[in-house]
Structure 1
Amino acid sequence: MRALTAVAVAVVTGMVLLSPPPAAADRSGRGAGGPAQAPAVRDPVDAPDLQQIFAEAARAHGVPESVLLGVSYLQSRWDLNAGRPSTAAGFGPMHLTDAAALAASAHHHSRADADPRGDDARPAKTVRRPAAAPRIDASLRTLERAAELTGETRERLRTDPVANINGGAALLADYQKRLGAPLDDDPGQWYGAVARYSGASEADAAKAFADEVYAVIAEGVERVTADGSLVRLPARPDVRPRREWLKRLGLRTPRRGRVECPRSLSCEWIPAPYRELEDGGYGNHDRSDRPRNQKIEYIVIHDTETLYEPTLDLVRDPAYVSWHYTLRSRDGHIAQHVKIKDVAWHAGNWYVNAKAIGLEHEGFLAQGGAWYTEAMYRTSAKLVRYLARRYRIPLDRAHILGHDNVPGTLPSTVQGMHEDPGPYWDWAHYFDLLGAPLRGNGGPNAGSVMILPDYEHHRPYYNGCDAADPEAPCPPHGSSAVWLHTAPSHDAPLVKDIGKHPTGESLYSVYDHSARASAGQRYAVADRLGEWTAIWYLGQKAWFHNPPDAPTAVPSRGLVVTPRPGLDSVPVYGRAYPEPTAYPPGVPVQEIVPLQYTFPAGQSYTLGLTAQGEYYRAVTFDPSEHVVVRGKLKYYQIQFGHRVMFVRADDVSVSFS
């Protein structure tokens, strides 16, 4: 067993290697290069036998192996995560939480944000998230209790899979004993201990977590982890969860109110205030009547860049901004703040805000936690599936956007747009959970492709994860994004984004999306050469490594747009506003301003959706004064760069490629 532990620690501490940037460029990637060659990724040859470790830990502590595997899968999908904490301070396959470690190591991204409203019809609203370390939930201390139960050090519980899995098994056994429940071979008898393992203080959240664990046990699952270990949980549809044990936990019942949420999920109503302010303004959202007066087109995925409790403090501030839902990392619990019929201030683009639902996920793009829990991914996917079905929103990457896919409204706002959830959000897994897997169609010479790297083994170079040394390489980590170069070579410079960097180069920073394409996004093919594919991107040819034995994109035929014959180029826009003649008297005309990019003849971009010009005038506290202006001007939403943008339908031709 000790030999196995040594191997496991070797895996955790360095079996995956990244190439450093070349000497010719500084470490920020501001020079002409970046990584001197393809990031070298080596899967561990001697991966730990996690199946054996789980089996031995289950026997040692009298926990049914299916329960131990099910709990671990719902937290970490059995990944070791290289000894780094989750967004809820959880370590290792069993997600043992250590609030003290997170408080000591986490730093929080704080900056003056772009106006979350994105509405230049009223004075800009600049907000700043607090830079001070937020308070951390006192319940995040299971690693400390596991150390007491097993005699292991905290460091081993964080980094050694044997210690970590034994610590989790010891906790489950301890919870079972404290409940007065039998140390039974029947997995169903462990329902109360599983619910307790969630760390939830709400009965609904503990129940939802336990129910999802037992759903995994019933269905079974098999997976090769990111560290190369094959783990199987055989299906046990015969297991009957004994939910009566939940009552003994004595948890609170949250205020569910009129939440818009599936009954199977744990949701509570924590309202964002709609209130007039002393300065004559109001906050922190706009009353509306969607979808009756405006079709809801988008669901926008955010991360909080702080922890759950401080996030709730922010959204309860009438002088701050708002979003519709916040999701907690450790168990997927949901708080709803704004009714879907109302417009929250979150996306930084007023046109998108007026037609979107915003979801904030507890976590950090790169800081504090290195991974999102499976519990939160699953809860989020169930919520989005429910909302998409209710409001007829297609489940694709033209409608399910990251905050980093929302365009700037004007040339002046492009540079400040947000970049969450970033390259570590696993879009392919998320869409699997949505029941809409990202798949290709068409042959190898299809005219468009969908970006789709193997998240687990695709580990490109990034920097910017360490506040103390922002130019240092980020730790190896799976990624949903690919780097885009000016030529088919890893030595070639990254393509430029004149909106993000008007006078400079794109960066290899985890916070800079200006030369990246992400999983699920579709692009028109510009060229192919050997192991490289070029796409049209921000008005230029952009190359990414796409070898046949490890593809990072799949064929994806669909509609594309090109400039109409006779036009040298067409403008692109950050919003689809109506023509001036559509505005009624008393409603100021919103100028249709093109962004700074060029869409020249000879290039093609994929079409995501069709939009009719629309503007929601809402600048007063009294919603009876709000007006929806609809025009006849027709737009197409296209995948123009990392962000979506719009072109006028009259300016382009549509074809299937």
Structure 2
Amino acid sequence: MAGAVAAAALLLPLLGAAPGEAAGGAPLRDAFARASAEYGVPQSVLLGVSYMESRWDAHNGAPSVAGGYGPMHLTDLSVALAEAPHHSHGEEDPRGDDARPMAAPEAGDLPVPEASELPAHLRTLPEAAGLTGRSVEELREDPAANVEGGAALLARTQRELGLPLSEDPADWYAAIARYSGADNSATAAMFAQDVFSVISAGQERVTDTGERIVLAADPRAEADPAQLERAGLKRLDQDGTECPPTVACEWIPAPYEHLGGDDPGDYGNHDLADRPADQSIDYIVVHSTEATWDTTLMLVQRPSYLAWHYSIRSSDGHIAQHIKARDVGWHAGNWYVNAHSIGVEQEAFLAQPDAWFTESLYRSSARLVKYLAKRHGVPLDRQHILSHDAIPGVTAANIPGMHTDPGPYWDWAHYFQLMGKPFHQNANPHGGVVTIRPDYATNQPVYTGCVSAGVACAPHGSSEVRLYSAPSEDAPLVRDIGLYPKNEGRTTIGVNDVGARASTGQQYVVADRAGDWTAIWYLGQKAWFRNPADRPAAVPTKGLVVTPKAGLASVPMYGRAYPEASAYPPGVPVQSLAPLPYRFEAGQRYVAGDRFRPEYFWNTTFGGRGTVVRGQEDYYQIQLGHRVAFVKVSDVDVVS
């Protein structure tokens, strides 16, 4: 994908908001106007580029997950990495299979690179400082100075390309493509086309400082892909990839290798299979890498490590595919989910002090997931597009070590809106099912542990609501006996503690109401969250609900949908069906997802494609707490 072919394929905007009227005088809007006049860059170009980088947010001077600062995402990655906290967010067995358990592999401590060792697109902030005469501190912390720095970089690039400092945004296509920092024409074209989509359609938004910014639609913003030839970017070889034409994607394979010795089970870092012929693909699991892009690629190419299907770069949305969809990756920490899922890793750190993700990452990930969902028949909802932190432990002992990414700062509402599946009300306001849906920007629960244990994280929008044991913020949080067994502590507000949190898009059954508070069934108890009518944190929706069959005091719940013992043929060891520690008691109800035929994928030998064991006793997936779980169909009744 390069040149005109790339641009034509990428001319597919994900949003088209109607433009609003010009806002009154405001500091950020005025900064765009001043920078446009001083450097000769059209204001619409500055606004379009900034929207794609940051959606015009300043983030109080904190870096993005790609080391970018401010509305123009000027990069200084060596500084960002030096200041970033490093977190362990789980100690799970990534394969998640009792038949072949493996210790969580160590990535190892990696040194922070020197600025001179970084590619140019990851140190644009010092360059902008030299062009503007402003200090790097100003460019990091002052949004107006940051906008000036971005304008200076765009103007310099335009001159280097031999193009005029024109008032027509169409003349800036190549400079915008170069601004992405991509080293290939396909990724650069994807970024430039998204910018032109925003400019031509118009956009408006209230920023994180409360300022309303408006970009009026400009019909002159017609892309000229021929300009890309001036950018001098390499062509990207996308042969062999399973990606939509609207993204830039390359094949960087994860090695499938025997690790030596006489043990046929000593191999890595994924399993061969023949999906969907041998088993269905039911989930797409969204992760955060907890590592930089270069480190992520290094690890996935390490035979003794683990592997997933796709990685997405935060700075420009570039995608690398590592495993074919037919094969099974080791990524979710639950073998049943691994066998039925595609793993998508996004370059990110869950708990930066002000964790934020670029619009390029959101859009590229949304395009990929929407494409994969359509190709494999996966519904676009939170019961099938699972966060890594929603994956259940396979047994009670595994629960405390399960991962917690992508964390509370990932904007699920924006993500699903980009996929064309927004969460909205579709039922009576007093109905029995709700979909969690707080306003991301203004929903800012306090978390701790981003920088150090017990210390409050910087205020930040969140997709999650906090759950209490009574309708009061003075009440204790609901208790997660899986995370804290045998009275060994209580749920906390730590950024990695998912024990008392419900996430945007997840559906729950209403258990009670009291004034501005709503209670849901959650981990076998009533869990309360603030849900005032003038600022709702959830919307009423329809859903399939299950409850224990009449006469049963409680029913067991499981972390996997495995077959009954009698289904296993000779040579395949029977897998345990130990229930999770939570109680699903009579009178309680949970929203159910799909009905699944029980399956177990037996594969422990290098080179083999395994055996799929199928049982007869079906399961329903339910939204038990923050994580999902499974119940046997024979144990529950279904309520519409």
CA shift for structure 1 position 589: 1.5
**Identical aligned residues as a percent:** 56
Q: Find the counterpart in structure 1 of residue 432 from structure 2.
A: 447
Partner residue in 1 for 2:87: 109
CA distance in 1, matches of 2:639, 2:325: 35
Shift of 1:361: 0.5
- The Cα of 1:397 is off from its aligned counterpart by 0.4
Q: Give the match for residue 396 of structure 1.
A: 381
Alignment partner of 2:239: what SS?
A: coil
Task: Quote the Cα distance in structure 1 between the aligned partners of 2:636 and 2:35.
Answer: 62
State whether structure 2 residue 622 is matched by structure 1 residue 644: no
Cα deviation 1:214-236 (Å, max 9, x = unaligned): 11112221111122111111222
Say whether residues 1:564 and 2:549 are aligned partners.
Answer: yes
Which residue pairs with 1:267 in the alignment? 249
Q: Deviations over 1:51-91 (max 9, x none)?
A: 22212211221111111111000010001111100011111
Is 1:106–1:369's contact at 8 Å kept on the other side of the alignment?
no
**Match runs of 1:452-471 below 5 Å:** 452-466=437-451, 469-471=452-454
User: Which residue number corresponds to residue 254 of structure 1?
Assistant: 236
Tell me the number of residue pairs that the alignment of Structure 1 and Structure 2 aligns.
608
Q: Deviations over 1:222-274 (max 9, x none)?
A: 11112211111122244221222222222223332210011221111100000
Secondary structure of the structure 2 residue equivalent to 1:321: coil
Partner of 2:225: 243
3-state SS of the aligned residue for 1:397? coil
The alpha carbon displacement at 1:608 in A equals 1.5
Paired amino acid for 2:109: A
User: Which position in structure 1 is the counterpart of 2:205?
Assistant: 223
Deviation at 1:583, TM superposition (A): 1.8
Q: Distance in 2 between matches of 1:111 and 1:320?
A: 17
Choose the corresponding residue for 2:597, options 589, 612, 615. 612
Code of the aligned partner of 1:228: G
CA displacement 1:76-118 (0-9 Å, x = unmatched):
0001111100011111110011123213211322477311100
Find the aligned partners of 1:479 and 1:642 in 2 and give their Cα distance: 15
1:50 offset after TM fit, Å? 2.4
> Is it true that 1:600 corresponds to 2:582 in the alignment?
no
Tell me the CA shift for residue 378 of structure 1: 0.3
Q: Look up the match of 2:348.
A: 363
1:58-207 maps to which residues of 2 (within 5 A)?
58-110=36-88, 113-135=91-113, 137-139=118-120, 140-207=122-189
The aligned amino acid for 2:639 is S
Matching residue of 2:371: 386
Structure 2 letter corresponding to 1:94 = M
TM-aligned CA deviation for residue 548 of structure 1 = 1.4
Whole-angstrom distance in 2 between the partners of 1:350 and 1:486: 33
Task: Please tell me whether the aligned partners of residues 112 and 127 of structure 1 are also in contact (alpha carbons under 8 angstroms).
Answer: no
> Which of the numbers 32, 47, 53 marks the counterpart of 1:54?
32
1:113–1:127: 8 Å Cα contact kept in structure 2? no
Q: Give 1:186 deviation, angstroms.
A: 1.4
User: What displacement does 1:368 show?
Assistant: 6.7
Matching residue's letter, 2:191: F
Q: Using a 3 Å threshold, how does the CA distance of structure 1 residues 619 and 368 change in structure 2: closer, same or farther? A: farther
TM-score normalised by length of structure 2: 0.93
Residue 629 of structure 1: aligned partner? 613
TM-score, normalization by structure 1: 0.91
Residues 396-419 of structure 1: CA deviation (Å, up to 9, x unaligned): 000001000000001111110000
| Contact 1:108/1:131 (8 A) holds in 2 | no
Cα RMSD (Å): 1.5
Maintained 8 Å contact 2:93/2:101: no
Tell me if the contact between 2:89 and 2:403 (Cα under 8 Å) persists in the aligned partners: no
**Aligned with residue 342 of structure 1, among 320, 324, 327:** 327
Q: CA deviation at 1:369?
A: 6.1
- Gaps in structure 1 of 5+ consecutive residues: 1-45
Q: Is the 8 A contact 1:80 1:161 kept in 2?
A: yes
Q: What amino acid does structure 2 have at the position aligned with 1:218?
A: S
1:490 to 463, 470, 473: 473
Contact 1:307 1:363 in 2 (8 A): yes
Q: Which string of whole-angstrom CA distances, capped at 9 and with x for unpartnered residues, describes residues 468-509 of structure 1? A: x32111000000001111111111111111111112100110
Q: Is the 2:353–2:458 Cα contact (8 Å) retained in structure 1?
A: no
Kindly provide the amino acid, as one letter, of the partner of residue 588 in structure 1.
Answer: P
Gap change, CA 1:350 and 1:207, over 3 Å in 2: same
Specify the SS of the correspondent of 1:628: strand
Conserved? CA contact 2:531–2:538, under 8 Å? yes
CA distance in structure 2 between the partners assigned to 1:605 and 1:197 by the alignment = 48
Greater Cα shift, 421-430 or 229-238: 229-238
Q: Residue 323 in 1 paired to residue 308 in 2?
A: yes
Query: Deviation per CA, 1:292-320, whole angstroms, max 9, x where unpaired?
Result: 11110000010001110000000000000
Q: Residue 426 and residue 325 in structure 1: after superposition, are their counterparts in 2 closer, same or farther (change >3 A)?
A: same
When residues 198 and 258 of structure 1 are mapped into structure 2, their CA distance, relative to the original with a 3 A threshold, is same
- Give the aligned residue type for 1:538: L
Q: Is the 8 A contact 1:110 1:131 kept in 2?
A: no
Give the letter aligned to residue 144 of structure 1: P
Could you report, residue by residue, the CA deviation over 1:111-159 in whole angstroms, capped at 9, with x for unpaired residues?
7731110011113232123233454743211111111111111111111
The answer to whether the Cα contact below 8 Å between 1:117 and 1:125 also exists between their aligned partners in 2 is: no
Rounded to whole Å, the distance in 2 between the matches of 1:401 and 1:409 is 16
Amino acid at match of 2:370: R
Matches within 5 A, 1:498-513: 498-502=481-485, 503-513=488-498
Contact 2:125–2:136 (8 Å) recurs in 1: yes
**Aligned residue in 2 for 1:16:** none
Distance in 2, Cα, partners of 1:142 & 1:159: 15
Question: CA separation in 1, counterparts of 2:366 and 2:89?
Answer: 29
Moved more, 178-187 or 310-319: 178-187
Q: 1:340-399 CA deviation, whole Å, 9 max, x = no partner? A: 110000000000000001011101111276200000000000000100111111000000
Q: Give the Å deviation of 1:48.
A: 4.3
Q: 1:368 to 1:508 in 2, by over 3 A?
A: closer
Paired with 1:514 and 1:431, the residues of 2 have a C-alpha distance of: 24
Contact 1:108-1:368 at 8 Å conserved across structures = no
- Equivalents in 2 of 1:520, 1:395: separation in Å? 11
How far apart, CA to CA, are the structure 1 residues paired with 2:49 and 2:198? Answer: 9
C-alpha change, 1:340 and 1:383, in structure 2 (3 Å) is same
Q: AA paired with 1:496?
A: R
For 1:289-300, list aligned pairs within 5 A: 289-300=274-285
- 2:617 is paired with a residue whose SS is strand
Question: Contact 1:484 / 1:515 at 8 angstroms: preserved in 2?
Answer: yes
